[in-house]
Amino acid sequence: MKPTLFVLAAGMGSRYGGLKQLDGLGPNDETIMDYSIYDAIRGGFGKLVFVIRKHFEEDFRKKIVSKYENHIPVEVVFQELDNLPASFTVPEGREKPWGTNHAVLMGKDVIHEPFAVINADDFYGRHSFEVLGKQLSEMDGLKNDYCMVGYRVGNTLSESGSVARGVCETNAGDYLTGVVERTAIERINGEILFVDENGKKVVLDENTPVSMNMWGFTPDYFQYSEDFFVDFLKANAGNLKSEYFIPLMVNELIIKGTARVKVLDTTSKWFGVTYAADRQGVVDKIQSLVDAGEYPNKLF
């Protein structure tokens, strides 16, 4: 069975002020997401699932889904604030979505095979989809055995300023022991540095794996996520800004010894528009990949 690609796109409408500004960065106005989907099809993925907000469904189907329909089966699911377990209601004043792992939960009725999770607006690169597609195709029928793509931190920096990254800690077998969110990572005089919680500068090795929210799961992950969401809501429902993130769930499963997560190395360079000033650089990088024959001039 071919794995499924699950694209987290619920933040899209709000972030870009509606889909009209879904930024065309490729030579034929391709979005970053177009490249991910093209790479996923090449990497052996057999189905596409988007999680979006209901209010921009019509726009999304017309502008986005229609592009891919002749290339790969597509499903759309919805993340809304009131998608909550029985006996829970939306706290008064809550406007913020419940976070990335809540978005993942929305796929449980349509995904019955190993699946990858990615952000809609990150450029992940061809090699990362190859390694993840291969790993997921070997995970059919397994449980409690997950994976993630660990990018080499030196391949994920912005030229326009510092970035926040989930720095991965692994054991000798390349299994994840934890993800620690580090802010203000940047290259200074050739060294990659961040400032730790004690205000101390720490140097990171060029090849330290970091999480760019590119995960591989099997369907049993949905049940764990559902159960843990209840605990999360009991503890955090009163905090209107709290979010149920994927690393939170993954760390919980690792700490309890319930599941293990293999960290897959990739040579792909990540890029995205973290700062407005990054936009032209992304356009140039995509163009150079097209010029090098990595991608066709027109994708779909």
pLDDT confidence of residue 284: 95
Domain residue spans of the chain? 4-291
Residue 42 pLDDT > 60:
yes
Cα–Cα distance between 290 and 300 in angstroms, integer? 14
Q: How confident is the model at residue 10 (pLDDT cuts 50, 70, 90)?
A: confident
Q: Which CATH number, 1.10.1060.10, 2.130.10.10, 3.90.550.10, 3.90.170.10, labels domain 4-291? A: 3.90.550.10
pLDDT confidence of residue 71: 94
pLDDT tens profile 230-283: 999 999 888 888 889 999 999 999 999 999 999 999 999 998 887 778 889 999
Of all residues in the chain, the percent with pLDDT exceeding 90 is 69
Cα–Cα distance between 191 and 154 in angstroms, integer? 10
pLDDT confidence of residue 14: 58
Residue 20 pLDDT > 80:
no
Structure tokens at 255: 């700490």
Which residue, chain included where needed, has tokens 């995205």? 272
CB 29 within 8 A of CB 74: no
Average pLDDT, the chain: 91
Structure tokens at 219: 């369907």
Range with the poorest average pLDDT among 19-28, 153-162, 168-177, 274-283: 19-28
Structure tokens at 194: 């961040």
Whole-model pTM over 0.95: no
Range with the poorest average pLDDT among 57-61, 134-138, 146-150, 213-217: 57-61
Residue 25 pLDDT > 80:
yes
Cα–Cα distance between 55 and 166 in angstroms, integer? 31
Q: How confident is the model at residue 220 (pLDDT cuts 50, 70, 90)?
A: very high
Average pLDDT (149-178) is 93
